Amino acid sequence: MPEALAKFIDLPVIEDPRGNLCVIESGQHAPFEVKRVYYLYDVPSQSTRAGHAHLALHQLLIAVSGSFDVSLHDGSRAERVTLNRPNRGLHVGPMMWRDIDNFSSGAVCLVLASAHYDEADYIREFDRFLAAARG
């Protein structure tokens, strides 16, 4: 069986009758230094987000509420995974095309990123990504 394109990371949960607490520490649970945090919400169910790759950026994607699917492509293989647990993240590394879709009602996608926003780090055309990934 081939290696997965991205790695699932189970995040520690502190259970309490008053409600659970999930911890994510930079460099420990997120396998990189976190420099930016953002989230997607109120995404219409038929919409697709992402649609790009990054040259150097690492991301940890977490479904903090609801669920969504992440389609990945490394230039030669494709994989689709569902995120639906707030204590499980998906580490997506550089040079990995990603599309995020199939958002459930109320879904929130939290993203921890290894760098500040830099448009020069994006590859937004799939053909250009394929050429770079295969080159």
- Report the C-alpha gap between 94 and 50 in whole angstroms: 14
Q: Is 91 a catalytic residue?
A: no
**Closest to 70 measured CA to CA, from 37, 104, 99:** 99
**Closest to 121 measured CA to CA, from 81, 93, 99, 101:** 93
Active-site residue, selected from the candidate residues 52, 58, 73, 116: 52
Residues annotated as part of the active site: 52
